[in-house]
Amino acid sequence: MRLSRRLALGVSAALLALIAGAASQAPSSARAAHAPSRAPSPERPVPPPARPASLARPAPPSIPLQPAPLPPERLAPLPAFESVPVSRIGGVAHIGANDLARLLGATKFWRADLRKLVLRAGPHRVTLTTDNPFAVVDDRTVWLRAPVVSRGGELQVPVSLLDALPRDTTLARLLFEPHRGAVVKVPRGGLVRSPEVTSGDTLTRVVFPVERVADVTVVGRARGHFRVRFAGTFVGAAPESLPPASLVRRIMPVAAAAGSVFELEVASGAAGYRLVRGAGAADAAAGTVTLEFPRPWRAGLEEFALEARPSRVRVIVLDPGHGGPDAGVTVGNDVEKDLALALARLVRTELALRLGAQVVLTRDDDRPLMPEQRAEIANRARADLVVSLHFDAVPGTQRAGAAAWCPPAGVGAREGPLSPRAPLVLLPWREVALRRAVLSRAAAEAILGALDAAGAGPVRLRERLMVPLLGVDAAGLMLDCATLSAIPDRIRVEDPRGLQELAAAIAGGVARWAEGR
Ligand SMILES: [Zn+2]
């Protein structure tokens, strides 16, 4: 877990710039040794990895890992978000003032003499008057088209007020959904509505109506499991049927801890894809994100990920973390550097059995290695995949199970350098690891899925470039194989059979990734 101070300082400045520009994930403190963040702050909940479909099994109730058993073609609207039913008064939808205040996080002030209700939320105030069709929003007077009325001692407000509320970050955004007969509180990141698919013979378009066109990332580029992630919350439904000529065979919403993820199955006829934000596609208005899948190759298309086949995966590098004077984390008799080496040797044996790949260890004894030495070994071996093996310990927390860290896919998918305003000069190794982000994430998902299936969970996936992968010119991930501060994890790793099972699961995940399943 611990790097030399000199090294940590050396890499942390460059990493900080990288992570500031790259990672959209919550910062972590637990990884102080591998990550630049040293500030102690409780780690936020981690987005669970999407589970490969082949591993489908009931997810634990608190962590939606996978779309729970999917209705065949279509899914019910995903998340439960805050909403309140409206009442119809004289044919006009009204929301109760108490509900309105609660959704807005507003405080109510009732002035009985004036029969006025003032709602205060942050810097904003809304004044409503009984039997009056006008409201005052901050310093604007707004016509509500119908009067505010009193029913059973509570004011009922026409929902047209919602459109007049200020749009800024201090105020929750409320939306009247006529088909639900409810007012919903728009989650952070906005909403994503039902995608629409149109198709001619040579081009299939999938149009997602969204509110924030910038917050979209292609996170999986394989034709079979093409994944796109939005910051917004999905409130629609997947299309009931697709056009006959469609090059997209299936669209499924996939459970995600934050935002929404869709998985598409793309026909082999599609030559590539293009992501169009807002205006740009011929028929895309602002407020849409369009995925285009044309049939013949044309300039400007992005390529699908290579569907990795066993013949393509020739060399796998296992990197046992730490070594020599750097012991990593130590809990009782469990020493990270020793566990990592023992596990790496077991994984090597398992991989040799399952996959005809050459397996290289960055160290096969108790020696210290600098990150650049590890990367050099991996690059010289022409690794197809690098798995850096570590163990974690976060005493005094409920933390348990395994975590994978892979380079952020959002950055890997972006064209060109990170940011012209990045405070530090770009270093050549940065892009090297990042451009394998999508493949790396697929490997991480496969390995975590196998670990979870083997009972070594809960598992977490984070997109972040960690020190052990600096300079690595291959798909790669850092794996915290278990959490030594958790009793069940310690029992597992201290039992030779338990360690063997961990190794078998990791090797199984690698094999599944290599076979492109
Ligand atoms: Zn470590």
- Listed in order, the ranges of the chain carrying CATH 3.30.457.10 are 83-186
CA distances from 331 to 380, 395, 455, 484, 499 (A): 34, 9, 21, 6, 16
| Rounded distance between C-alpha atoms, residue 240 and residue 135, angstroms | 42
Q: Which of 5-14, 168-177, 220-229 has the lowest mean pLDDT?
A: 5-14
Compute the distance from residue 2 Cα to the ligand 1 centre, in Å.
7
Contact 498, 487 (CB under 8 A): no
The secondary structure of residue 427, as a DSSP letter, is P
Compute the distance from residue 369 Cα to the ligand 1 centre, in Å.
13
Fold of 191-294: Immunoglobulin-like (2.60.40)
- Listed in order, the ranges of the chain carrying CATH 3.40.630.40 are 5-44+308-514
CA atoms within 13 A on the CB side of 378: 30
The secondary structure of residue 9, as a DSSP letter, is H
Compute the distance from residue 62 Cα to the ligand 1 centre, in Å.
28
Torsion of CA 279, 285, 290, 294, to 10 degrees: -80
For residue 199, what pLDDT is reported? 93
Compute the distance from residue 63 Cα to the ligand 1 centre, in Å.
25
Compute the distance from residue 368 Cα to the ligand 1 centre, in Å.
13
Compute the distance from residue 118 Cα to the ligand 1 centre, in Å.
56
Compute the distance from residue 499 Cα to the ligand 1 centre, in Å.
17
Closest among 385, 67, 436, 505 to 253, alpha carbons compared = 67
Q: For Cα atoms 86, 91, 97, give the angle at the middle one, nearest 5 degrees.
A: 35
Which residues are near ligand 1, the ion (C-beta closer than 5 Å)?
Answer: 1, 321, 328, 390
Compute the distance from residue 337 Cα to the ligand 1 centre, in Å.
8
Highest mean pLDDT among 285-294, 344-353, 448-457: 344-353
Average of per-residue pLDDT across 272-293:
74
Amino acid present at 140: R
Compute the distance from residue 468 Cα to the ligand 1 centre, in Å.
9
Q: What is the architecture of the domain spanning 5-44+308-514?
A: 3-Layer(aba) Sandwich (3.40)
For residue 76, what pLDDT is reported? 35
Interval 69-124: pLDDT, tens: 333 333 334 345 688 899 999 999 999 999 999 999 999 999 999 999 999 998 99
Compute the distance from residue 496 Cα to the ligand 1 centre, in Å.
20
Q: Which of 95-104, 127-136, 157-166, 406-415 has the lowest mean pLDDT?
A: 406-415
Compute the distance from residue 1 Cα to the ligand 1 centre, in Å.
3
pLDDT band at 321 (very low <50, low <70, confident <90, very high): very high
- Listed in order, the ranges of the chain carrying CATH 2.60.40.3470 are 191-294
Compute the distance from residue 329 Cα to the ligand 1 centre, in Å.
7
Compute the distance from residue 331 Cα to the ligand 1 centre, in Å.
13
Amino acid present at 447: I
Fold of 83-186: Copper Amine Oxidase; Chain A, domain 1 (3.30.457)
Compute the distance from residue 52 Cα to the ligand 1 centre, in Å.
26
Residue tagged 């709602």 (tokens): 119
Above 60 in pLDDT, residue 45?
A: no
Interval 348-372: pLDDT, tens: 999 988 887 899 999 999 999 998 8
| Rounded distance between C-alpha atoms, residue 96 and residue 30, angstroms | 45
Compute the distance from residue 441 Cα to the ligand 1 centre, in Å.
20
Give the three-state DSSP class for 312: helix
Compute the distance from residue 21 Cα to the ligand 1 centre, in Å.
24
Above 90 in pLDDT, residue 324?
A: yes
Compute the distance from residue 267 Cα to the ligand 1 centre, in Å.
41
Compute the distance from residue 480 Cα to the ligand 1 centre, in Å.
7
For residue 256, what pLDDT is reported? 64
Statement: the pTM of the whole predicted model exceeds 0.85: no
Q: Which of 326-330, 394-398, 427-431, 482-486 has the lowest mean pLDDT?
A: 427-431
The H or E element spanning position 100 is: helix 97-104
Compute the distance from residue 251 Cα to the ligand 1 centre, in Å.
39
For residue 192, what pLDDT is reported? 86
For residue 121, what pLDDT is reported? 92
Compute the distance from residue 336 Cα to the ligand 1 centre, in Å.
7
Residue 237 tokens read as 């439904």
| Rounded distance between C-alpha atoms, residue 404 and residue 445, angstroms | 8
Q: Which of 308-322, 362-376, 477-491, 495-509 has the lowest mean pLDDT?
A: 308-322
Compute the distance from residue 142 Cα to the ligand 1 centre, in Å.
59
Instruction: Specify the higher pLDDT residue, 238 or 74.
Output: 238
Compute the distance from residue 91 Cα to the ligand 1 centre, in Å.
64
Question: Is the CA virtual torsion 321, 324, 330, 332 positive or negative?
Answer: positive
Contact 444, 49 (CB under 8 A): yes
